[in-house]
Structure formats: structure tokens, C-alpha cells
Structure 1
Amino acid sequence: MTRSIRCAKVAVLAPMETPLDYLVPDDLAVSVGDHVWVPLGYAKIRGLVTEISDTIETEFKLKPIAAKIDDEPVPAASLRFWLWAAGWTLTAPGTFLKGCLQALKTPKAQIKHGFVRTGAEPVKLTSKQMRVLEVAVLPMSAAELAQAAGVTVGVVQTLEKKGYLERVEFTTQGFDAPDPDFMTPTLNDDQAAADRLLEMEWDRQVFSPVLLDGVTGSGKTEVYLETVARALRDDPTAQVMILLPEIALTTAVMGRLKRRFGVDPVQWHSAISPSQRRRIWEGIARGEARLIVGARSALFLPYANLKLIVIDEEHDGSFKQEEGVRYQARDLAVMRAHQEGFMVVMASATPSLETLTNAQKGRYSWVRLEQRHGTAQLPDIDLVDMKAHAPEAGPTGDKWWLSNPLVKEIEATLARREQVLLFLNRRGYAPLVLCRACGERMTSPKTDSWLVEHRATGRLVCHLTGFSMKKPDRCPHCGALDSLTSIGPGVERILEEVRERFPAARAEIFSSDTTPDADSSAALIKRVEDHETDILIATQAAAKGHNFLNLTLVGIVDADLGLKGGDLRAAERTFQLLAQATGRAGRAEKAGKAVLQTYSPEHPVMQALKAQDREAFYAYEQMSREIAQFPPFGRLAAVILSAKDNALLNRFGRELSLAIPNTEGIDVYGPADAPLSLVRGMWRKRFLVRADRNRDLQGFMTAWLKSVKTPNAIRLVTDIEPYSFL
């Protein structure tokens, strides 16, 4: 006789390709999104319930779920998105979900016993007792309540005996609710027109991707914050996520959000503590945290009722995750909005070619802001041909890196008591150290990556692997004494030159070395805003999102830097970065100017920047990509192989190349040595897959890679839509 049984599919947190079936015991109540322990082999392993169904009992006996875990369930919409993202990135579901649940590794906050008002009417109470009742709105321990009211613990205990306070259990403080009407800004005509277009899109209450395209300083933030307010106002349970590319930007945006909504939004990034991460994760899953600002991983929080996503600086390459599970947060955010049928706003002054093309083709709504806010004007841009204006040598004979035209502009700016930004996207003192005697280039052990000199600490550092060593007196290769010389400039070297040329100017560096966390970034930004700094020497940390009102000159030390290498997005990235950097100049009443030092003034990127003709550059770049059928006109994927045994790697690379399916509309290139062919003692090879847009790239990749068994000694990594080609 057959009988019906309850069955659950469980995605175990292990590299399994599909969820596994388990029996749901009669005395166990589980739902989709619940955390459970299940038997797997001889062990018990954690998993997430992805599906519940009734089936007919068969001779094949299912193992029962061992236990339910008392953690906040994952909302169904978030779980559905996580599983889709796992498939999109060609990641085993359990591996992907394990990353989404990292915050739960920290133990739950200990439950405290506290006191809160019962609501009984006060009768014949002392002034001390009344003060306690006034502050006992939220649960607090007896000691915390007594301290807040300025009384002894005995007063609190007396009020409990009289029935005015009741003992409750609580864990941590809750989340302040944002007020969408706390401070309504005054928008100028351009901003108001853009806001009306966004309101029309919002009122449709369907999936609506929008490009908010505005020149630097046009006030895009104020415009998209009105859409945030609309979402919070229309639904008292709605959650809004604002994605930012850099922690350094979080500080600036947090202040603006607090002024607009009256509370600190919830922050999510790598710098917050493990206990805070768990508290935030649980608060979002319960729907208590409503306004969230974070880096790309905030996309994978367990939102209970997500209604709007804003992606600020949507073009930024930092939205691409390059380690572990590789994904492009912007693209996945659009899919999340599509799955749940809500609005996603992508804001940028220099949109990615993918987003701009979607807007041009009508797939995305396109809202434009073409004027700077108030009286501010876009800066004039001059190109300095470094072949004609080679910098002179310093007093000690060392090479200088600032040309005479740029130096004259700095002198004039400082004379007007205005501020200067010198931009060089290269950390440290020098990117290369070599031996004058034998030509040896200092590299990281078992890695092709050059060691970068950091003169401030006296060390040589590999920015790829993190390796660090004291700069030696002798060449490790030939033993020559004092033969190591620094090649090329980093921000530390520019600071050294600035201090020699402008000794009266107050100068400092803004990079991830000098501002490693949000607090140090905020402190430096405040010093610049308070004009305690005259010359700011910065990497891309200062190129976007900051509004320095007295900064009128931007000098680009090496405008050609990003054009080097074989990256298909090199020109686009360089244009975006330099447009953002030059856009820091003249953001208030004072006129701004930018000076770009370049050895290739005729390059289309430089000509477009000088003419401030963004459309001409994008048209040129789109034409180049369309001819090659590269994104956004085609799709890309990468396969990266690495192994300690180079011979084994070469053999497997050939075997994998022989197994490439013959599929029309899909081309595979490789295997080829990676540009950095040796990293941490592992040899590396790459395949590049190009597919027409109407082809199932993930299906092709899955079929191809499953056709050959990967040896245990070889690591195989897939990257859908790669950004890095190292």
C-alpha cells in the first residue's frame, strides 16, 4: 500500500550541482527558506529548503531532515534570486548560498533581559520614577535604564513591583525608520524635469530599468533620492537598496541620506564587524531595515520586500567581483528587479557602453541632466603633449613628472587660494624597481607581478598577492650594492615632487594606503572641505562622488596609463575615469580647469575629453565593438586554468581545447598563457569565449566543461562577462 509523504529539496552548503531530496518528518514544520541540518554521507551538513512537495512513497527510502535551525528564514524572492544567480555564474548552488549566508557564521547575539513600560497610568510616582517611565519606551537592561534616567537600579526594580515596568527579552537595538518627508529639497528646473520622468516610471509599478545620465555636478543624487523617498512613502514595508562602488563614497552618501531622511541608513560593506553583519542580515530578512547602502555584496542580502535598487556610478568597474564567485553586480541587480517587477535606477555621468546602448535601443528609459547644478560650469580641459613639454630634472638630478604648463597652473591656483587635485591612479612611490647593474626586475616570489616601492614604509609590495618585503640594499640577483633604482611615478613620488616645488602648500595623499577604512576617508574628506589641504594627490579614490567646492584645478599626471594593455574596455575605462576626475574641478561658483598630461594627444579618448564630446567617443567605441561583436553586441566568458605543474596544465589545456563543441555563433580562443602567467606559484592559462547575443552562453559552457574531467591538481575558474584579462 502506498502513502503520500512530504518531501523537501535542500540546497546543501557544499559543491553539489543540484538540491537534494529529503523526507520531512511528520513532527517537523519546515517551509521554503528555512535552515536545516541534513545527513550527507556520514556527516550532517547545513542546507536551505528550496522546495516542499508531496509525493508517493517508493521503495527508495529518503533520508529525513535531521533538524531545523533557529535562524531567520530566507525570504522566497531572495532565495529564488540566489539560485538563479548561481546558475548564471556557473556556480554550484550550495557554494553560492554558502557565500550568501556568511553573516550567519557569527553566533546569535545573546538574549538580554530588560524592562519596558506596561502602559499603566502613573499614580503618585516620584520625579525619579517618572523619569524612568519617560525613557522606558524601548527595552533596556535595568542598569541601562537607570543610567539613562539618572537614578539607581532600585528605582527600576520598584517600578517593576508596582506593575509600571515589565520584564522582556531582547537582543539588540532595532533599526530607525527613514522619514521620506524629513527634508524635502528644492530642485532646479532640470532636476525637477528629471524627477517627473522618474515619477512616471515609478507609477507604472512594473519592472523599469532607468539610466539617470547627468554630467558631473548636475545633482543626480538629489534626483534619485526623490525616487527613494517615493518608494518609502508608498509602502511602509518597502526596502530600498543603494549600491555604491567604493567604501570611500559611502561616507559622503551617508551624510546626504541622513540629512534627507533623518536617520542613518544601514551600511553594508567589508569594514563592518561580524556581529553587526549578522544583526543587519537578520534585520533585513525580517523587513526591519528599510534603507540599505552598500557595496556590491549588498545585492545578496535576504530582502523581505525590496522595491527599488539604485546603482550609483553604475559604470564603475568595482561592481565586478573578481575573486571567488565572479559576477557583475550591476547586471545581476537589473535581473533582480526584473524577477520581482520593480524599478532599478542606474546613475552615471559616464555610463557603461552596455547601459548606454540599452538606453539608445529603448530597452532602458533614459533620463538626462545636461547642466551642472546652480551656477557651476564644466571645467575647461587642456592637453599637454609630454613629447613637447618633457618635465625638467629636480635639484638632485631625479626626474620630475609635472610639466611646466601644469606647474604654472598650480602656481596660479594656489595664488588664488584655491585647491588642486593631482590625479594618478597608481599607489606607492614607483611601480617598478630594477637593478642598474644586471637589469633584474623585482617581482613577487613565484609571481610575475612587479613589486611596487612604498617609500613611506621602506617596503616593496605586491598589490596582486599582498607579499611585502623590506627594500634590500643589494640586488638579490647579482648582489650589486645600492644598484636598485625606482622606475616610474606613484602618488608618493608626486607628493615628494610637490613638496619640493611648492613647499608652502599643504599636500597629502588620498589612496587606499592612506585611507584604508571609512573613518579615515571621512577625516581626509573633511580636511579638504575645510581647506586644511591645498593639494590633494589621489588615486581613483577621489575621482568620483566628492564635491570639493574650492577645488578648481585637476591635473592628470599620466592620462595614458589606463590605455596600456590588451583590455577591450581600456579606452572606455580611461575615458570614464578621466571624465570623472576632471569633473571634480569647478563644482561651485568658481570656474574650473583640467590639465591632462599625455604622450598621445591625438588618441580618440584625449580628443573627446578635450572637446567634451562624449557622444563622439561613445560612437567610435560602439563602432569598434560592433565590428568585433564584443559586448554589448556580443557576449564573453573566460575559463582560467591554474596549476603548480606547468606540463600538466599544458596537457589539460590541449585536451580541453579538443573538446570544444562546434557551435555556430560561438567562438573559443585559446588556450593562451595569461598575461600574468605565474601567480603564487601557480601557472595560468586562459580561454576566451565569444558568443552572439542570441546564443545560450551558459548552456554552451556547461556542456563543454562537463565533457572533460578536470584533474584535482588543476583549478578551473569560469567568469561570465569578464572585466579583467590578467
Structure 2
Amino acid sequence: MKVALPVPIYPAYDYVLPNDIAVPPKGARVRVPFGQRQLTGVCLGESDSEPAAGIQYKAIMSVLDDTCVWPEAIWNLVQWAADYYQHPLGDALMHALPVLLRHGEADNYQTTRQYELTTEGAALQPDDLKRAPQQQRLLAALKQAPLLSRDIRAGEYASSALRALQDKGWVRQQEVTAKPTLDWQLNLGEQPLQLNQEQAIAVATIAAASKPQPYLLQGVTGSGKTEVYLQCMTEVLRKGGQVLVLVPEIGLTPQTLQRFQQRFSVPVVMLHSGLTDRERLDAWLDARCGAAAIVIGTRSAIFTPFAKLGLIILDEEHDNSYKQQDGFRYNARDLAVKRGHHEAVPVLLGTATPSLETLANAKAGRYGWLTLENRAGGAKAVRHQVLDIKQLPLKAGLSEPLLKLMGKELEQGNQVLLFLNRRGFAAALICHECGWLAQCPRCDAYFTVHQSLGQLQCHHCGTQQRIPRQCNDCGSTQLMGRGVGTEQLEQVLQQEFPDHSVLRIDRDSTRRKGELAKQLQAATENKHSLLVGTQMLAKGHHFPDVTLVALLDVDGALYSSDFRSAERLGQLYTQVAGRAGRASKQGTVVLQTHHPEHELIQDLVNNGYHDFALTTLTEREQTQLPPFSHMTLFRAEATEREAAVAALEAIGALFPEHPDLMVLGPLPAVMERKAGKFRYQLIVQCAQRGLRQQVLKHVVPQIAGLSITRKVRWSLDVDPQDFT
């Protein structure tokens, strides 16, 4: 029997089947010995070749499934993805399973805890718990229906509130075996909003399509894309179909869950890395058997099986988070389109700033193209202002004109959002006397100063050390931070505006579970006048009282070596600007820059992202860069520079000469040394996707036979999005 194993080796392994074990079906999990370990693998069927003479084959230990663990659609999708991204099939198949199934657990529900109101608890009214809002919220939910442990976590109800209600005798718990409800019916918890003409056309176009296809829903920020999602979902749910909604990051999942639960009284589950292994398996099972009407998840949820999938939605389709950057390097956006084609369901790609790949497909007619050019409701278009900060004094990156604008908005009771994509207190620690800079010993990077923790941290390899009191070179105590991070900006804002509270949202301030959702809720409710954050604040959040948004330092992206940097800056600027003036108040976005004359800035401010993107797409076509050519990136890292270079040179020599194929490199990565390893890259560029696949199928199997590649860690990335 051929068995695919979760190891970084491309061929499947041959095992013999003992007489006392029934023949497993293709796609069933099996337990096999592998070296000194026991692994869970996937049966691929009987071997095509006869056993070689003189070789002792190991035997399959047990068969874990009676049938293929995936529906046929997912089985075919994973096989296609492993082939397209040139990844070992066994590892790809295991990536498409919940963790517990990878470890050999049974694919069924287990006993869990259920919480319900006692007689005394049922007699309570929400107003009886006015002084305990968390308990009040949980009580209201339990009055609707009993909650399982996973429901408590999914709704992010405080564990202290649950314990308090139990201690008072108002809530009891019992052990139950989850039984999925398969006969759910669509009920609307709120009435749909009145659509404007553009929204109505978008919904009608998708509903009336004779043949399902991908659609690009391109709408300016605040144009009501979510309402289009909801009304498209209504038709699918009314017919008993299921909906898969993908979001780029965990931070958007609770917000999306709450919005959908307000509209639809149907079973909704989440799938992301913040859940426990059991919660993820239960949600996966709910989707597979049809008990879940809506599944909201991050990129790995694209492999979730469904009983009756009717619609796939990708929110913020341009976001780079949909691309897996290590291991199985797939792109969930592209797999969603492929899955929609295989299962004949529409795929809705929503964004205000479409990726150039998606825009090119829409422009060529391969995708439907729906546009929302006006903000929904009474929201007005945002005003744009560019501040030239050359020769201006700055306080933690804030210019005097910007401080005055902030003061005016705060006096009127509005909120101000400041975007700075650099966490920590300062970007580096410098000696004022000799110029020494605290550098990470393992990377070509400087330590970031985290003053609140009293630490220097490397944001690339994770190395930490205490902030020194003296310079390592001259012994001076005149050490100071260089550059500005969100932590320093927060302190300066508290000094400049002492009557207004400041909320900082970045990876450091949201480490604890549930903290991000809590802070976003506080920002939405205008509990803090000043919001400071990194890219976590730029993605799809709705802050109705934010009227001024300022980007403090994005000049570095204007002169990046990455050909995608202009596209990314355009998306970032537009997304951050979209947080302003989303309700009835006029919004203003301010861009501080040392280069106000730069053509990219002028194009974005004066013409908007759409015009900028079409111009950039034309430039890409003229220079034959993606999406008008197709790239593969080989990476190699080693403790010695020469070994990494030699490995890539050997790989490059395997490629044949062809007029439509170009091999560039080896080239050092943007950060050549990281975590003690030297990193180099080899870029293979093809004019046609089919040619690239043929060449890779010929070359990749030969790489394992190169002795030099055993001295390095190498990987390949098909359609790379990140060259750092």
C-alpha cells in the first residue's frame, strides 16, 4: 500500500498490509512505523509496482477510518494544491486536517460541558445585573439557549462572570455529548438594510448568474460591502446552503461573528488558531455534517469540508495574510477560486484595494467585476491632506500642524487615529557620545527598545536582553532611543493631551487572549479619544467617531527594493484612510512625509487607489512582472554564507535554457543574516504558468539528489508574495 506521510519528502512510502487488517480505502488515515516513531499517514491506494526483491517492507499497524476522511471535493483540492505549490502530498494532506485528527484521534464529537440556567436564574431579568455587565451579557445569552464550553469561548464571555453565576446558583453545568442540529432554519435577527443602487446591482448580479464564478466586489471603504455579503448569504441560507467566510486575521473574527449573529439566527462557528484543538475539531465536524450554517475562519479554513457549500466569501482579499509564508506555502485566495470552480459555487472577493492579480483577472473578464463607488448611508468622502515635514520640529514623529488638527477634532468630541507601523518605544538604542548602536548578535538588525519591559528585543529572531546602562564601546551612560515606536508615541500623546485617554493597539498590548476584541470594542464605543496602532488597526474595523486619521511614517516604502512595495503602500494608505468619517461626520486623512512631491503619493491622494492600481498594472505588463509572468522563489539558509550560495547555484544549474524562462541569483535576502543563518534567494521567472509547472516537476525531484542541499535548509515558494 502507498502511504503519504507528514514529512518533507516528496515520494509516498510503501507498506505491506497484514492479513488481519481490512484493505483501507483511498484517503483513510493509517498508523505506520517510521524509523523510531509512529506516524499517522494517509492511504493513497495500492502500489503500482511489485515489491522489490530482498527489501523488507514495514507493515501498517492500524487503519483509523472506514472511509476517506475528506469529501471528494477537498481530497481533489489538496492534491491539486500539493501539485501546484510543489509541496509533499503527505504534509499537505495533514495540513488540511484539524490537529487532533493529525494525531490519530477519532473523527467524532466528545463529551463537553453544557451550561444552562437554573429555575432561579431563569427568573432573573437582565436589569437585575446592571452593576455586573459581563454577567448580564452572559445571562442574556443563556436565556436564549444553553451554551456549550466552546460557545462560551467563541462569544468571549468572561470566565469570572460564569463562575459568579454558578456560585450564586443561577447557572448549572452538566456533561453532554454534542449532537449536531442538522435541521436548522433561517431566521433573521434583524431586518436587512435598504440597499443603494450599486449594492442592489451587485446582489442581483450574483443571484441571477446562470453559472457560478468568482466576483471581485471592489468598493471604497465604508461603501457597504458587508451588507452585500449579508444579503448574498441570505439567499444561500434560505435554500439550506452553507457559507464559508474567510477573514485575514484572528482579530477580525469576533467582530465578523457578532455582525453575522445579529443578522442570522443560524448556527455559526469559527475556525482559527486561537481555539483549542477540540474546539477546532468540533467546528470542522459541524461544517462537514451540515450542522454549521456559516463558518468564519482564517486562511486554513479553506480546507474545511461542507455538506452543502453554497458561497465562499473572502473579506479584504488583497491581504498578504492569506498567503502561508512557511511550510505548505499556499495562497488561500487562489485556492478559494479553485474550490469555487470545482464545487460550482460563487466566490466573492471583497476589498477596497484589490490585489493586482485579482484586478488583472477582473479586467480580463475571468472574474465578474462589481463596483461600489459611493459610501453607504450619509457618509461623505474623506478629505486628503499631505503635510511636508521637511525642516519641521517633530515630537515623537508628530508635527506641529498635525497636533493642531488633532486638538480641533478632540475639542469637538471626535476620535483621532494615528497609524505607526513600528511597535516598541524606539527603533534602536544609540550612544550619544560615540554613536554605538545596540545590534542583535544573530541578525543584521538593531534591537528595538521596549521601555515598559526594560528590554531590548529583536523583532526578527526574538532575542531579548536587558537595556544596558552603559555603552558597550565607550562605557558612556548617555544612551538614548533613536526613532519612534507606538509605545513612545502613546507617552507623548498623554503629555500633549492630558485630558484625553490614549488607547494603544499593537502586538504588545494585545498579547492576552480576548484583549484585542476588548480594546476594539472600547475604541468603537468612543471610550478613548486617541487611538494609536500598527497594521492591526488598518483592517476593516468600524470606528464611527473617528474623524481624523494620520499616517506618521511610511516614507520607507517609497524606495523599497520589492516591486510590490508601491502596491502595498497604496493598499495601506487607502485602508487606513478608510477608518475616517465612516458615519455621518466628515473624515480627514493626513499623510506626513518628507517627499510630498513623490508621484506615488500624488497619484494616491489626487486620483485614488483605483486609478493608481490600473497605472501600476500597466507598468507591470510593460516590465513583465507578476501577474504578467510567474515567479518561483528558492530560499536557502546556512550557518556559512558559501554553503547557501553553493546550494542555490546547484539548483539553478538544473533548470534548462529556454527563451521564456529566466533564472536570477543567487542573491542575498533583504536581511542577509537572520537568527544566526545566512539567507540567499534564487528567483525563477517564467512567461507562462504551464511552462513553469512542467519545469518544476522536472527539477524539484532532482534537488533531493544534490549532496550540497543536505548542508543547508532550503525551500521553494510558488507565486511568492514576500521577498524579505
Please give the TM-score of this superposition, normalised by the length of structure 1: 0.85
SS at match of 2:262: helix
Residue type matched to 1:534 in 2? S
Write the mapping of 1:451-470 to structure 2, written as runs, cut at 5 A.
Answer: 451-470=447-466
Residue type matched to 1:210 in 2? Y
1:37-64 deviation per Cα after TM superposition (whole angstroms, max 9, x unaligned): 2456787542223447999999999876
Cα pair 1:422 1:555 within 8 Å, conserved = yes
1:62-94 deviation per Cα after TM superposition (whole angstroms, max 9, x unaligned): 876442115982222212211211122211111
Greater shift, 510-519 or 553-562, is seen at: 510-519
1:51 and 1:218, CA in 2 relative to 1: closer, same or farther beyond 3 A?
Answer: farther
Residue type matched to 1:422 in 2? L
1:725 match: 723
Is 2:539 the counterpart of 1:544? yes
CA-CA distance at 1:715 after TM superposition: 0.8
Write the mapping of 1:419-568 to structure 2, written as runs, cut at 5 A.
Answer: 419-476=415-472, 478-516=473-511, 519-568=514-563
1:518 and 1:338, CA in 2 relative to 1: closer, same or farther beyond 3 A?
Answer: farther
1:13 match: 6
Instruction: State the Cα RMSD in Å.
Output: 3.4
1:172-199 deviation per Cα after TM superposition (whole angstroms, max 9, x unaligned): 3646847364434023223222211121
1:219 match: 224
Write the mapping of 1:205-354 to structure 2, written as runs, cut at 5 A.
Answer: 205-206=211-212, 208-234=213-239, 236=240, 238-263=241-266, 265-354=268-357
SS at match of 2:237: helix
1:169 and 1:711, CA in 2 relative to 1: closer, same or farther beyond 3 A?
Answer: same
1:90 and 1:440, CA in 2 relative to 1: closer, same or farther beyond 3 A?
Answer: farther
Is 2:633 the counterpart of 1:647? no
1:241 and 1:443, CA in 2 relative to 1: closer, same or farther beyond 3 A?
Answer: farther
Residue type matched to 1:391 in 2? P
1:246-294 deviation per Cα after TM superposition (whole angstroms, max 9, x unaligned): 2111121111110111256211111111221222233333333331111
Cα pair 1:31 1:52 within 8 Å, conserved = no
Residue type matched to 2:186 in 1? D
2:412 match: 416
Is 2:98 the counterpart of 1:90? no
SS at match of 1:47: strand
1:588 match: 583
Cα pair 2:574 2:609 within 8 Å, conserved = no
1:239 and 1:58, CA in 2 relative to 1: closer, same or farther beyond 3 A?
Answer: farther
Residue type matched to 1:179 in 2? L
1:162 match: none
Greater shift, 287-296 or 625-634, is seen at: 287-296
1:122-170 deviation per Cα after TM superposition (whole angstroms, max 9, x unaligned): xxxxx99xx9xxx9x9999xxxxxx9xx99x9xxxxxxxxxxxxxx996
1:575 and 1:438, CA in 2 relative to 1: closer, same or farther beyond 3 A?
Answer: same
What is the CA–CA distance in structure 1 between the aligned matches of 2:147 and 2:379, rounded to whole Å? 49
SS at match of 1:522: helix
Cα pair 2:357 2:627 within 8 Å, conserved = yes
Cα pair 1:178 1:291 within 8 Å, conserved = no
| Equivalent of residue 613 in structure 1, options 596, 608, 611 | 608
CA-CA distance at 1:654 after TM superposition: 3.2
What is the CA–CA distance in structure 2 between the aligned matches of 1:657 and 1:672, rounded to whole Å? 12
1:660-679 deviation per Cα after TM superposition (whole angstroms, max 9, x unaligned): 32122111110011121111
What is the CA–CA distance in structure 1 between the aligned matches of 2:223 and 2:249, rounded to whole Å? 20
1:523-560 deviation per Cα after TM superposition (whole angstroms, max 9, x unaligned): 11221222210010111111121111111111111232
1:511 and 1:111, CA in 2 relative to 1: closer, same or farther beyond 3 A?
Answer: closer
| Equivalent of residue 697 in structure 1, options 679, 692, 710 | 692
Is 2:201 the counterpart of 1:193? yes
Unaligned runs of 5+ in 1: 1-7, 116-126, 141-146, 154-167, 393-398
1:407-443 deviation per Cα after TM superposition (whole angstroms, max 9, x unaligned): 1111110111111111111111122223334433323
Cα pair 2:267 2:292 within 8 Å, conserved = no
Unaligned runs of 5+ in 2: 124-142, 149-165
1:498 and 1:170, CA in 2 relative to 1: closer, same or farther beyond 3 A?
Answer: closer
SS at match of 1:262: coil
Greater shift, 701-710 or 53-62, is seen at: 53-62
2:710 match: 712
Residue type matched to 2:483 in 1? G
What is the CA–CA distance in structure 1 between the aligned matches of 2:444 and 2:219, rounded to whole Å? 41
Greater shift, 429-438 or 667-676, is seen at: 429-438
Greater shift, 33-42 or 181-190, is seen at: 33-42
Cα pair 1:562 1:574 within 8 Å, conserved = yes
1:484-532 deviation per Cα after TM superposition (whole angstroms, max 9, x unaligned): 3222111112212212221111111111221236621221122122221
Aligned length: 669
Please give the TM-score of this superposition, normalised by the length of structure 2: 0.85
SS at match of 2:670: strand
Cα pair 1:414 1:534 within 8 Å, conserved = yes
Cα pair 1:211 1:359 within 8 Å, conserved = yes
1:645 and 1:175, CA in 2 relative to 1: closer, same or farther beyond 3 A?
Answer: farther
Cα pair 2:630 2:689 within 8 Å, conserved = no
1:258 and 1:178, CA in 2 relative to 1: closer, same or farther beyond 3 A?
Answer: farther
What is the CA–CA distance in structure 1 between the aligned matches of 2:288 and 2:26, rounded to whole Å? 14
CA-CA distance at 1:22 after TM superposition: 5.5
Cα pair 2:664 2:683 within 8 Å, conserved = yes
1:54 and 1:621, CA in 2 relative to 1: closer, same or farther beyond 3 A?
Answer: closer
What is the CA–CA distance in structure 1 between the aligned matches of 2:686 and 2:410, rounded to whole Å? 53
1:438 and 1:653, CA in 2 relative to 1: closer, same or farther beyond 3 A?
Answer: farther
Segments ≥4 residues shifted beyond 6 Å: 52-64, 137-140
1:418 and 1:663, CA in 2 relative to 1: closer, same or farther beyond 3 A?
Answer: same
What is the CA–CA distance in structure 1 between the aligned matches of 2:425 and 2:482, rounded to whole Å? 9
1:419 and 1:112, CA in 2 relative to 1: closer, same or farther beyond 3 A?
Answer: closer
What is the CA–CA distance in structure 1 between the aligned matches of 2:36 and 2:427, rounded to whole Å? 52
Cα pair 1:582 1:594 within 8 Å, conserved = yes
1:40 and 1:653, CA in 2 relative to 1: closer, same or farther beyond 3 A?
Answer: closer
1:171 match: 177
What is the CA–CA distance in structure 2 between the aligned matches of 1:724 and 1:475, rounded to whole Å? 36
Residue type matched to 2:7 in 1? A
Cα pair 2:98 2:277 within 8 Å, conserved = no
What is the CA–CA distance in structure 1 between the aligned matches of 2:593 and 2:50, rounded to whole Å? 73
Greater shift, 552-561 or 376-385, is seen at: 552-561
1:380-404 deviation per Cα after TM superposition (whole angstroms, max 9, x unaligned): 001011126x135xxxxxx542112
2:368 match: 365
2:127 match: none
1:436 and 1:285, CA in 2 relative to 1: closer, same or farther beyond 3 A?
Answer: same
What is the CA–CA distance in structure 2 between the aligned matches of 1:436 and 1:32, rounded to whole Å? 67
Cα pair 2:14 2:47 within 8 Å, conserved = no
Is 2:655 the counterpart of 1:660? yes
Cα pair 1:462 1:468 within 8 Å, conserved = yes
Greater shift, 61-70 or 410-419, is seen at: 61-70
Percent of residue pairs bearing the same amino acid type? 34
2:393 match: 391
